[in-house]
Homo-oligomer: A and B are copies of this chain.
Amino acid sequence: MSDHKPQKANQTNLRLGEIGLANYEPYLMNRIMGRYNASLRDEMAQLGLTTAKMRTLAVLSVVDGPMIRELSVFAVVEQSTLSRALDSLSGEGMIRREAHEQDTRATRIYITEAGRAAFEQLWPQMAEAHDQMFAGVEPEDRRVFLTTLQKMLANIRKHNF
């Protein structure tokens, strides 16, 4: 790209410019998660799943009967999007809602056998994407990476779960 102008070291971009995108963790994490999600897209589409629906099923496969606001936090899907995802999943028989007798906010969401089967079909693809990510990373570095992620989430999460 011969017409690519050289990077200017303006005062105004000095901070991110000094760090550089390739050394800025939030940038790298976005790039990595973007690729991870993209690598699941074809498989998800075949199963009629969106990212929101996939994350919902993933969470429900290991968390039994969360309330909607808990599910929204776990799945990192905003409540309005989650609400549509749940309507769709419910229509496809992949989840069921269990209303609380007195408190509608306390509705709990459960995965069905059909939902579990759909997630199980996606899981090998997720596991493969995961393995590919960590190829060549030393076990000790993986341990540090995981404990750092856990500390980061503890540092910034708003919810106590």
Check B144 against A132 for contact (C-beta < 8 Å): no
Q: How large is the interface on A (under 10, 10 to 19, 20 to 34, 35 or more residues)?
A: 35 or more
**CB contact under 8 A between A17 and B61, given known A30-B55, A156-B36:** yes
- Please measure, in the bound complex, the distance between the C-alpha atom of A112 and the C-alpha atom of B59, giving whole angstroms: 43
Is A130 part of the contact surface with B, judged by Cβ < 8 Å?
Answer: yes
Closest 9 CB pairs of A and B: A34-B76, A28-B149, A144-B144, A13-B61, A145-B148, A35-B156, A30-B76, A133-B152, A5-B64
Which of the residues B137, B144, B150 comes within 8 Å of A22, measured between beta carbons?
A: B150
Copies in the complex: 2
- Please measure, in the bound complex, the distance between the C-alpha atom of A35 and the C-alpha atom of B53, giving whole angstroms: 19
Residue of B nearest to A26 (CB): B36
Is A21 part of the contact surface with B, judged by Cβ < 8 Å?
Answer: yes
Chain B residues contacting A132 (CB-CB under 8 Å) are 155-156
- Please measure, in the bound complex, the distance between the C-alpha atom of A104 and the C-alpha atom of B29, giving whole angstroms: 31
Q: Annotate A120-150 by CB proximity to B: 1 below 8 A, 0 otherwise.
A: 1001001101101111110001101111111
List 20 extra interface pairs beyond A6-B64, A25-B134, CB under 8 A. A15-B127, A16-B123, A17-B61, A21-B59, A25-B145, A26-B33, A30-B33, A30-B76, A31-B74, A31-B76, A31-B157, A32-B152, A32-B153, A34-B76, A35-B156, A39-B156, A129-B156, A133-B156, A134-B152, A145-B148
